[in-house]
Structure 1
Amino acid sequence: MALFDRFKKPKAATKSIQKAAVQGAPLSRKEQKPKTEAAPAKLAAERSEETKAADIVSARYAGILLKPHVSEKAAMLADQGVYVFDVPVSANKVEIRKAVESVYRVDVSIVRTQRGAGKRVARGRIAGQRNAWKKALVKLKKGHTINLVEGV
C-alpha cells in the first residue's frame, strides 16, 4: 500500500550503512543504533520477589493518598500516632488502610474519614461551587511512626 511506503527505509540508505560497516567507517548519528544499558536489567533481576510484590501493591494504591494534610491540628495528632491524609472522595476505609500500610510499611489500627461538601460561592454575578473533599485520619499501632516532614 502506498500509505506505508513512506515509513520504509530507502534501499540506498541501507546499502550505504552496509558499505560503511564493511569499510570500517564510522556511522553518522542517524545510522547509529541507540545504546542500551544492561544495568537496569541487572538491578531488576537482583531484587527479591518480596520487594517486587510490595512495589506492585504500593503502585496499586499510589493514587489513594493524595497528600499529607498539613495543619496545626494534624501536627498535634501526629504526636499521638494519628496521621491525616487528603484522599479522593471515592476512596473507602479499606483502600485507605491498604494504601498506608503498603506505602509507608506500617500497621494501621483505625481509619476514620471526614467528608466536606463543596460550598456554593458567588463572585459578583458568577456563581460556582468549590470542590468536595475528603480526609482520612489514620491511627497506627503502637511502635509505628511515619515521618511525613522528612527533609523540611
Structure 2
Amino acid sequence: MKTAYDVILRPVITEKSMAGIADKKYVFEVATDSNKVEIRKAIEEIFKVKVLSVNTINVRGKEKRVGVHTGCTAKKKKAIVRLTEDSKGIEIFEGMF
C-alpha cells in the first residue's frame, strides 16, 4: 500500500506554475502509477486542505545524446491541483512569489 508521501514526490517550481498560485492552482510531480483519486487524498492528507479538482499530465522522456551514445531521460507525471475557495494555501509555495 502506498503512503501519501509515495504518491507526491516534489513540488514543481517554475514561472508558469507560480502564476497559478493566485487561482489556488499548485503543481506537483507525482508517481507515474498514481491516479487522480490517490493524488487528491495524498494532497488533502499532507497539507490539510480541500481539493476541488486534479488534472494530470504525462511528460515523456527527452532523447539525449552524449557523443555517440544516445539515451532518454526518465518520464514523469505532473499533477495540477486546484483548491477550493475556502481552503487555505499550501505553505511551501507562500514565500516563492
TM-score, normalised via structure 1 length: 0.58
Asked if 1:148 is matched to 2:92, the reply is yes
Q: Distance in 1 between matches of 2:41 and 2:76?
A: 20
Q: How does 1:1-152 map to 2 (within 5 A)?
A: 60-144=3-87, 145-149=89-93
1:62-100 CA-partner distances (Å, limit 9, x unpaired):
111111110111111011111110111111111100000
Q: Where has structure 1 moved over 4 Å in runs of 4 or more?
A: none
Distance 2:33 2:23 in 1: 27
Shift of 1:150: 5.7
TM-score, length basis structure 2: 0.88
Higher strand share: 2
Q: Name the % identity.
A: 35
Q: Which whole-Å CA distance do the structure 2 matches of 1:99 and 1:129 have between them?
A: 29
Higher share in helix: 1
**1:90 partner SS:** coil
> How many correspondences in the alignment?
94
- Please identify the structure whose Cα radius of gyration is greater: 1
Gap regions ≥5 residues in structure 1: 1-58
Q: Helix, strand or coil for the counterpart of 2:28?
A: strand
How big is the shift at 1:149? 3.5
Question: Distance between the aligned counterparts of 2:95 and 2:15, measured in 1?
Answer: 18
Unaligned runs of 5+ in 2: none
In 2, Cα distance between the equivalents of 1:116 and 1:62?
20
Deviations 1:29-62 (A, max 9, x none): xxxxxxxxxxxxxxxxxxxxxxxxxxxxxx8211
Structure 2 residue aligned with 1:32? none
Query: C-alpha displacement at 1:122, in angstroms?
Result: 1.5
